[in-house]
């Protein structure tokens, strides 16, 4: 069965984990320090990196450190993994959803501008599937309205925007290293930032609020959680980071083959192919009415062909939890269409070109009505 994604692990990763296990130091330690340094070198831009037990924790820590809370609104796209909105609620604030572009699945500055109210404190642009948001106008808008820009780059490690790594801007940018991402630490995430005041608060939030003086004496002056990454994950990340550019080149090669074979068709919407894309996922839209099958029937077709596809993602504002904020069907047409028609096709470095060919043959047959 061809999965829609799978981490790429070999002997070097297993040896790195074995080394940590044999060292006896399993929690946060020297491997974490080395991984943070390596990530900072990779991203560039004179930023500091701090790693977390998840990308979700990194997002939450930034919002808490910035003082986002009850009465505040945070603008977020209606099309993303639900963590992008959950962290807002976790801080006591209110998510303010906006629609996305149908092809890139990203928000733009016009959508952000229309959603700003006197209660708006922050905006969370999401670099969907590794496709960079057009950030310059959003930075300018945020400066005009004194907003925090917290970039959700969970799916965008290795993505470039105007020739620079996502994360090198200096404002808070959060990454994820979940096993389905372009590189993995098993579970884990990271924050890139160059604000030393905000970083000090975030470090306390990451680990129990603990501060130590030069003699090692401990004090706790504010609340903190438990969001640190263990050395086992960092050791895996050090190996994966060295391979990341190679992984992303392979992803690009596979995507180019998809794009060569999949046609322009009124029942099919292909993802945006933009410069710097790291291709975390390859998501298409299929118009069920035009192909004569619903999504469940289409999933069964792929299953019969030994192919697993994903659904990334349902529109967040239609989840029952978020309806309590007054959201309803029809509020964000593009996000809703994506949620109804999206399929995530297999894409990972361990795939072969023949796997892409097999997936494309199924898509082409669906467009021709062969499975009706």
Tell me the catalytic residues: 181
216: left (phi over 0), alpha (psi -120 to 50) or beta: left
The span from the CA of 23 to the CA of 361, in Å, is 50
Q: Shortest CA distance to 174 belongs to which of 150, 201, 149?
A: 150
Q: Determine phi and psi for 39, rounding to 5 degrees.
A: -65, -40
> Three-state DSSP class for 102?
coil
Concatenating the DSSP letter of every residue in 308-331 gives --B-----GGGSHHHHTTT--TTS
Residue in the block written with tokens 């996502």? 166
> Three-state DSSP class for 155?
coil
* 207 secondary structure, DSSP code: B
Yes or no: say if 353 and 258 are a contact pair by the CB < 8 Å rule.
no
* 216 secondary structure, DSSP code: -
Residues in a beta bridge with 164: 161
The span from the CA of 276 to the CA of 255, in Å, is 13
Quick one: tokens of 276? 């710097």
């Amino acid at each position: 069965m061809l999965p829609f994604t799978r981490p790429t692990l070999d002997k070097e990763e297993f040896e790195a984990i074995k080394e940590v296990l044999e060292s006896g130091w399993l929690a946060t330690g020297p491997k974490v320090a080395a991984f943070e340094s390596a990530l900072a070198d990779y991203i560039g831009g004179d930023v500091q990196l701090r790693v977390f037990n998840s990308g979700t924790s990194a997002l939450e820590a930034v919002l808490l450190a910035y003082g986002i809370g009850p009465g505040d609104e945070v603008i977020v796209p209606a099309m993303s993994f639900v963590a992008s909105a959950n962290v807002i609620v976790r801080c006591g604030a209110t998510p303010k959803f906006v629609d996305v572009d149908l092809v890139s699945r990203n928000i733009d500055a016009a959508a952000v501008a229309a959603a700003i109210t006197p209660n708006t404190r922050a905006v969370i642009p999401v670099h969907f599937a590794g496709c960079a948001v057009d950030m310059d106008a959003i930075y300018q808008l945020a400066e005009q309205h004194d907003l925090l820009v917290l970039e959700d780059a969970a799916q965008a490690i290795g993505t470039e925007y105007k020739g620079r790594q996502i994360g090198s801007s200096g404002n808070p940018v959060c990454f994820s290293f979940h096993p389905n991402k372009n590189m993995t630490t098993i579970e884990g995430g990271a924050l890139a930032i160059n604000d030393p005041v905000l970083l000090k608060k975030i470090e306390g939030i990451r680990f129990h609020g603990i501060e130590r003086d030069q003699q090692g004496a401990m004090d706790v002056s504010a609340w903190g959680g438990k969001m640190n990454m263990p050395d086992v994950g960092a050791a895996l990340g050090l190996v994966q980071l060295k391979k990341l550019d190679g992984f992303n080149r392979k992803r690009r090669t596979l995507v180019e083959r998809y794009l060569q074979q999949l046609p322009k068709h009124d029942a099919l919407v292909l993802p945006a192919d933009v410069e710097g894309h790291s291709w975390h996922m390859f998501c298409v839209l299929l118009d069920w009415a035009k192909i004569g099958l619903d999504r469940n029937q289409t999933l069964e077709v792929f299953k019969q062909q030994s192919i697993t596809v994903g659904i990334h993602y349902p529109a967040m504002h239609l989840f029952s939890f978020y309806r309590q904020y007054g959201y309803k069907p029809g509020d964000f047409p593009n996000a809703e269409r994506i949620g109804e028609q999206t399929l995530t096709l297999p894409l990972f470095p361990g795939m072969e070109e023949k796997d892409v060919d097999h997936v494309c043959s199924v898509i082409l047959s669906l467009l021709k009505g062969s499975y009706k």
